């Protein structure tokens, strides 16, 4: 079974004043394919940092530890190599790419990931179907990537990519934030379709248990101050809802 | 005439190290038989010889001689780019590639056909995307074809030398009226030694519904190319003219100094599209100007990708009420390149409108400048002008400047000016790369997106070619 393994990961960022600041301070996580791991934690605890570090954003420097995908050293790979190896990140704040249409972007990405251009006829059908499932208006295909998209539309667009690119492991960084109740359901169903069809491992970063009613995690990790403070089953999420993060913070 | 191909080709066929602008996509050269007899340097004798070889009427010779005097007297521009690398004594001012004009593809000499095959002209023709091809090889048009129905409609589309020979009255009426002989040093030079180019006349009310295209090449070392284009769109007519340039690599500097004059009469519309892709040693100093009469529309679409230095500011003189002028331009500058490009709009009548959109990309230490002039003359009330120039810097060693000049002599006008300079952001690159695209591919996608508002106005095959060129250039831009 394919596994994404994160061992004792330490990550720093460069500060504006020239110094460096350690954000991740020894993260351990193991995700098997088909598993859903929820990561919850206070603002600023380093959840997005973890997500970006897995994907390889140049802003983050790994100073210790390892990330492996089926034993392969992910940290030695460039951003695009990681994507082609099967990693996917649905971003908390997807960026705009002016002048590039969604359909062009999706086709280019698919071609890059698969190493060959998708068969035109089935591809057009697949895109249409996936957009339909996510209740995205067909006109989005001809709009520029994320340009003038609403917050919720950007999130749907991220899940659209996940469905079409079929990664082995997907990190979803607050995909539920900013979604209305209906959109939350629609997007969750998209993730569940992926889980049912290609069965990727999913790392689901969220602040709310609401999404966990639709996407059932097997594991919940409490992320505090740059590391996993506690892990458990789905019931841990419910207890967080009641008690908050206070007990972890005081312990730290 | 032999079919030997120069060393340049072998170099290109070697390791796939096409590092963007450093090496040139069409970097081959045919055997240089045609240019060997041409002399270097400029003198009255050379000018007389050019005119005599073409058996021109006396008035043209006199005009050429007058231009030569003005050329000598006019100062070099002391603004814009560094032009000190031009050695006027080391340029061939006239090169004849074949003795007579070929009338069909089959009659073209083998090496010229070979060149055009690589430029894809026959394919373009097959696709019926072009109405006629006036292919300029060195200084004279050697291949010319025009669709029959155009001829039936009375459209004239010939090389400029033929235009002078066969339509002298019409030619004389307009030649040098938009850009006078002494307009600037390089316009004078062109007038003195011009050769080739296109002459187009569209009769009243005639719409030419497919673009007319011409391809240009410089093929002789140190040879200057001085083509001269004159387009007259009579009342209520429409024509789209497309000009594309490619050239092989040479060691020494080359000069391309063209003049394009366009007369857009009442309610007529002309669109002029250029993709300039000279090799990186060419000084590209072109004067382009149009006059637009009442209700007329002139559109310049100008892409500057190659050359060492380009100085080019297509102009529209809005002479009649409700005339419109538009310039869309793209400039790309890589290592050792300076693209000093822009536009000039002169509002000389009420209710005239102009719009300028300029997109430039600098990388590898290259430099782009936008230089624009908006003039609103007294009495040109209710005129409106918008300027938008966006510069994209691909790295931190490249440079971009904006030099907007306004000269407004009328109160009742609407002016808009927006300028941005942006860098390719880490976050954009990361986003695309996290979707599997390699860095150069991601960079090319961002750059293509940046110029898309202009690129979508290009004919399809030019847009595709432009995309390929950007990809090639980005291969050398990263890593
Ligand atoms: N360049 C930087 N300089 C200083 N601090 C930084 C820099 N970049 C990130 N940080 C800090 O790193 C910490 C972790 O940020 P991160 O975005 O990973 O948090 P998060 O857990 O995703 O928070 P949220 O729940 O609000 O999304 C924050 O305190 C942030 O301010
Ligand atoms: Mg975050």
The residue to mutate among A48, A151, A206, A244, having the most atoms of ligand 1 within 8 angstroms of its beta carbon, is A48
Residue B391 confidence (pLDDT): 96
Question: Model ipTM?
Answer: 0.96
Q: What's the mean pLDDT in B92-110?
A: 55
Report the separation in Å between the CA atom of B440 and the middle of ligand 2, taken as the mean of its atom positions: 28
Express each pLDDT in B389-405 by its tens digit.
999 999 899 999 999 99
Enumerate the residues of chain B whose CB falls inside 8 A of the CB of residue A83: 433-436
Q: Rounded to an integer, what distance in angstroms lies between the CA atom of residue B369 and that of residue B403?
A: 7
Query: Could you give the domains of chain A?
Result: 3-251 (3.40.50.300)
| pLDDT higher than 50, residue B6 | no
Min mean pLDDT across A27-31, A72-76, B52-56 is at B52-56
Nearest ligand to the CA atom of A24: 1
Q: Which is more confident, A233 or B471?
A: A233
DSSP per-residue letters across chain A: --EEEEEEEEEEEE-TTS-EEEEEEEEEEEEETT-EEEEE--TTSSHHHHHHHHHT-TTEEEEEEEEEETTEEGGGS-HHHHHHHTEEEE-SSPPPEEEEEHHHHHHHHHHHHHSSPPPHHHHHHHHHHHHHHTT--GGGGGSEETTT--HHHHHHHHHHHHHHH--SEEEEESTTTT--HHHHHHHHHHHHHHHHHT--EEEEE-S-SGGGGTS--SEEEEEETTEEEEEESHHHHHHHHHHTTHHHHHH-
Query: Across the interface, do A100 and B446 touch by the CB < 8 Å criterion?
Result: yes
Residue B469 confidence (pLDDT): 73
pLDDT category of residue B244 using cuts at 50, 70 and 90? low
> Which sign, positive or negative, has the C-alpha torsion B313, B250, B462, B393?
negative
| pLDDT higher than 80, residue A106 | yes
Q: What's the mean pLDDT in A155-183?
A: 95
The three-class DSSP label of residue B125 is helix
Closest ligand 1 atom number to CA of residue A23:
12
pTM listed for this prediction: 0.81
Q: Closest Cα partner for B71 from B184, B228, B226, B222?
A: B184
Report the separation in Å between the CA atom of A49 and the middle of ligand 1, taken as the mean of its atom positions: 7
The residue to mutate among A10, A11, A12, A13, having the most atoms of ligand 1 within 8 angstroms of its beta carbon, is A13
Q: Of A230-234, B4-8, B167-171, which one has max mean pLDDT?
A: B167-171
Express each pLDDT in B33-88 by its tens digit.
444 336 678 899 999 999 998 899 999 999 999 999 999 999 998 878 888 888 88
| pLDDT higher than 60, residue B222 | no
Query: Across the interface, do B434 and A79 touch by the CB < 8 Å criterion?
Result: yes
Q: What's the mean pLDDT in A166-171?
A: 97
The whole-angstrom distance between residue B390's C-alpha and the CA centroid of its chain comes to 21
pLDDT category of residue B456 using cuts at 50, 70 and 90? confident
| B262, B287 contact by CB (below 8 A) | no
Nearest-CA residue of chain A relative to B451? A99
Q: Rounded to an integer, what distance in angstroms lies between the CA atom of residue A53 and that of residue A41?
A: 17
Q: What's the mean pLDDT in B269-278?
A: 89
Q: Rounded to an integer, what distance in angstroms lies between the CA atom of residue B80 and that of residue B309?
A: 10
Q: Rounded to an integer, what distance in angstroms lies between the CA atom of residue A146 and that of residue A94?
A: 7
| pLDDT higher than 60, residue B254 | yes
Interface of B with A (CB under 8 A): 425-428, 430-439, 441-442, 445-446, 448-453
Nearest-CA residue of chain B relative to A92? B431
CA atoms within 13 A on the CB side of B344: 14
For chain B, give the percent of residues with pLDDT over 70.
75
Q: Which residues contact B69 (CB under 8 A, 6 or more apart)?
A: none
Domain boundaries along the sequence of chain B: 2-423, 433-479
C-alpha dist (Å) from residue A168 to A26, A31, A55, B11, B467: 24, 11, 13, 43, 32
């Amino acid at each position: 079974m394919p596994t994404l393994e994160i061992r004792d990961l330490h990550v720093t960022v460069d500060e504006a004043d020239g110094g460096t600041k350690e954000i991740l301070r020894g993260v351990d996580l193991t995700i098997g394919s088909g598993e859903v791991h929820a990561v919850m934690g206070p603002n600023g605890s380093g959840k997005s940092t973890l997500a970006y570090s897995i994907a390889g954003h140049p802003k983050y420097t790994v100073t210790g530890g390892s990330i492996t995908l089926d034993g392969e050293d992910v940290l030695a790979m460039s951003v695009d190599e990681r994507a082609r190896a099967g990693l996917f990140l649905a971003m908390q704040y997807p960026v705009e790419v002016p002048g590039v249409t969604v359909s062009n972007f999706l086709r280019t990405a698919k071609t890059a990931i698969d190493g060959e251009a998708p068969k035109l006829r089935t591809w057009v059908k697949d895109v249409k179907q996936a957009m339909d499932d996510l209740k995205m208006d067909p006109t989005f295909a001809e709009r520029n990537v994320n340009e003038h998209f609403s917050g919720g539309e950007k999130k749907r667009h991220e899940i659209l990519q996940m469905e079409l690119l079929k990664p082995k492991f997907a990190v979803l960084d607050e995909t539920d934030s900013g979604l209305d109740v209906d959109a939350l359901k629609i997007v969750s169903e998209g993730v569940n379709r992926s889980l049912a069809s290609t069965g990727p491992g999913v790392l689901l970063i969220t602040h709310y248990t609401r999404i966990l009613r639709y996407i059932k995690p097997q594991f919940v990790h409490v992320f505090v101050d740059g590391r996993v403070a506690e892990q458990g089953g789905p019931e841990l999420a419910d207890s967080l809802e009641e008690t908050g993060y206070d007990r972890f913070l005081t312990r730290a | 005439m032999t079919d030997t191909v120069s060393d340049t080709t072998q170099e290109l066929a070697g390791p796939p190290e096409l590092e963007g602008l450093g090496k040139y996509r069409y970097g081959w050269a045919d055997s240089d038989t045609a240019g060997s007899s041409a002399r270097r340097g400029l003198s009255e004798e050379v000018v007389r010889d050019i005119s005599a070889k073409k058996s021109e009427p006396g008035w043209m010779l006199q005009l050429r001689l007058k231009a030569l005097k003005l050329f000598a007297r006019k100062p070099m521009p002391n603004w814009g780019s560094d032009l000190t690398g031009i050695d006027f004594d080391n340029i061939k001012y006239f090169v004849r590639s074949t003795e007579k004009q070929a009338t069909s593809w089959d009659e073209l000499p083998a090496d010229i056909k070979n060149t055009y095959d690589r430029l894809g002209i026959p394919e373009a023709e097959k696709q019926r995307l072009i109405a006629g091809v006036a292919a300029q090889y060195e200084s004279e048009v050697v291949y010319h074809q025009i669709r029959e129905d155009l001829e039936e409609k009375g459209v004239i589309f010939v090389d400029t030398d033929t235009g002078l020979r066969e339509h002298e009255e019409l030619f004389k009426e307009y030649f040098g009226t938009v850009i006078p002989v002494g307009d600037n040093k390089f316009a004078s030079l062109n007038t003195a030694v011009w050769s080739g180019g296109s002459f187009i006349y569209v009769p009243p009310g005639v719409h030419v519904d497919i673009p007319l295209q011409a391809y240009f090449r410089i093929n002789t070392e140190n040879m200057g190319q001085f083509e001269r284009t004159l387009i007259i769109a009579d009342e209520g007519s429409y024509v789209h003219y497309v000009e594309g340039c490619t050239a092989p690599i040479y060691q020494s500097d080359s000069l391309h100094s063209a003049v394009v004059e366009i007369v857009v009469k009442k309610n007529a519309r002309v669109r002029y599209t250029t993709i300039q892709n000279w090799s990186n040693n060419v000084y590209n100093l072109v004067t382009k100007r149009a006059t637009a009469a009442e209700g007329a529309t002139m559109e310049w679409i100008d892409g500057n990708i190659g050359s060492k230095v380009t100085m080019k500011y297509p102009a529209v003189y809005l002479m009649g009420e409700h005339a419109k002028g538009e310039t869309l331009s793209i400039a790309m500058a890589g290592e050792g390149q300076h693209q000093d490009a822009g536009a000039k709009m002169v509002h000389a009548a009420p209710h005239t409108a102009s719009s300028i959109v300029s997109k430039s990309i600098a990388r590898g230490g290259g430099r782009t400048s936008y230089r624009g002039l908006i003039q609103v003359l007294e009495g040109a009330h209710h005129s409106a002008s918008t300027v938008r120039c966006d510069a994209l810097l691909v790295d931190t060693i490249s440079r971009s400047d904006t030099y907007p000049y306004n000269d407004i002599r009328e109160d009742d006008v609407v002016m808009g000016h927006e300028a941005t300079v942006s860098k390719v952001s880490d976050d954009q690159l990361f986003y695309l790369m996290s979707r599997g695209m390699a860095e150069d591919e991601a960079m090319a996608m961002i750059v293509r997106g940046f110029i898309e508002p202009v690129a979508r106005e290009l004919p399809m095959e030019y847009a595709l070619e432009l995309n390929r060129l950007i990809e090639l250039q980005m291969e050398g831009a990263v890593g």
